[in-house]
Amino acid sequence: MTTTTFTDLPLAEPIQRALRELSYETPSPIQAQSIPAQLEGRDIIGCAQTGTGKTAAFALPILHHMAERPERPVANCARALVLTPTRELAVQVGDNFSKYGKFLRIRHCLVYGGVSQRPQVSAMRRGVDVLVATPGRLLDLINQGHISLERVEFLVLDEVDRMLDMGFVHDVKKIAAMMPAKRQTALFTATLSGQVRSVADRFIDNPVEVRIDPGKPVVERIEQKVCHVRTEDKLPLLQYYLTDSQGAPSDLRTLVFSRTKHGADKLSKKLKGFGIVSEAIHGNKTQAARQKALDRFREGRVSVLVATDVAARGIDVKDIGLVVNFDLPNEADTYVHRIGRTARAEASGRAISFCDEATTSELFQIERHLGREIDLELEQPFHYEGMPMRKSGGGKGRKGGGGGYRGGNRNRSFGRGGNDRQGGGGFAGRGRGGKPGARGQRSGGPGRPSTQRKERA
């Protein structure tokens, strides 16, 4: 049977009502392929990237079973356990259960580290329907006797590959071993590595395997560009992308990635100096501070969020217009995860990456992973011509470059001290002319007029 709308799925009426309210009409491929099997009680392995709708893919069948067979929660117990790698993802999953279960009497609780355990312990004392937890704090509370897994009927292991990357493999195995053998399990992962398979083989029984094409559709929806830039020009280049031609902050919701926590703090501070409302999130911040920054970003009160990879994992904020890789990631996979933040729920998005001389090998790796070169942005005032050449095996031209790869002939090169954006081609939506502050800045000596102008402002 091919499912065309949610009404074709035998989901309980209160869930259908919540979906109507959310204007969900058509199940995404992971939902269409996995929900029917889970409604029949089957275990599943879902191979899908974030942003493909996998939360509803597991939440809806669990809620349906609870709607059909309501039970009073038992003290310290949960009927469903969702394990996530990060606190942020736990919060998001919890929010989704609330949204989809709005018309059901569902009690859920979040358990994660970095905050006081007291409210979590007191919520569990009454028992819950759904417990969403990160592995470390969950084990902690189990060991203290505040949580028992003996009544878990549904287990979801979300973003298992990430959990394993983060070193949670033993915790996950310990937790799964504490659960009744008779349960329904769903495992979600972006990649099906050998290690993920071994976890799956151990805990999943005769699963239905659902594979959604490995991320390409999401990546393909994103307009990607790379800027060749000197390391010392990265900050003014970022400022350039975050302001309009008058130097005023643009209202584009932007996520900026920094490789280090210190770098994220420093960047956010600099941006504030330019009059750009920004916040940094990273692993050294308290959970409360991270959540507050995320909420402010989600509500549009902060337009630029500077994040490290760990903190940004699983962020689901709608309408992120632009992702900037201020520092390129070490791993090509991380690049795909990062830029995927801008193409949630079928939206398209833009991603721009700054590549300096120190990170050319990262760029090559990413391009190899994508199976293609990322278009070079020439029409930016800090374009650096002196990037090392790459032997690209046959000299494929770059789109918009009109020549070979790095350092090749370019018919639209901006060049040093360039002073005209030619109507803001390249990145769509930045239709503006030359930027006065950036004009002539390279030929004018070592000064950074645009930066200095803003810092004084």
Residues that bind ligand AMP (CB under 6 A): 24, 26-28, 31, 50-56, 316, 318, 344-345
Residue with smaller CB distance to ligand AMP, 53 or 381: 53
CB of 99 to ligand AMP, least distance (A): 8
Q: 3-state DSSP helix/strand/coil percent for the chain, to nearest 5?
A: 40, 15, 45
Cβ neighbors of 371 (< 8 A, separation 6 or more) are none
Question: Of 273, 238, 276, which Cα lies nearest the Cα of 258?
Answer: 238
Residue with smaller CB distance to ligand AMP, 215 or 426: 215
CB of 30 to ligand AMP, least distance (A): 8
- As given in the structure block, the two tokens for residue 61 are 């069948």
Per the listing, tokens 């490995």 go with 214
How far apart, in whole angstroms, are the C-alpha atoms of residue 15 and residue 104?
8
CB of 364 to ligand AMP, least distance (A): 30
Helices (H), 192-306: 194-203, 216-220, 234-242, 261-273, 287-298
Question: Do the Cβ atoms of 155 and 134 come closer than 8 Å?
Answer: no
Which amino acid is it at 282?
Answer: H
Residue with smaller CB distance to ligand AMP, 20 or 105: 20
CB of 324 to ligand AMP, least distance (A): 21
CB of 60 to ligand AMP, least distance (A): 9
How far apart, in whole angstroms, are the C-alpha atoms of residue 367 and residue 305?
26
Residue with smaller CB distance to ligand AMP, 87 or 344: 344
CB of 274 to ligand AMP, least distance (A): 30
CB of 288 to ligand AMP, least distance (A): 23
The three-class DSSP label of residue 234 is helix
* DSSP per-residue letters across 369-429: HHTSPPEE---STT--TTPPP---TTTPPPTTT-SSSTT---TT---TT----GGG-SSTT
Residue with smaller CB distance to ligand AMP, 27 or 381: 27
Residue with smaller CB distance to ligand AMP, 344 or 410: 344
Residue with smaller CB distance to ligand AMP, 21 or 420: 21
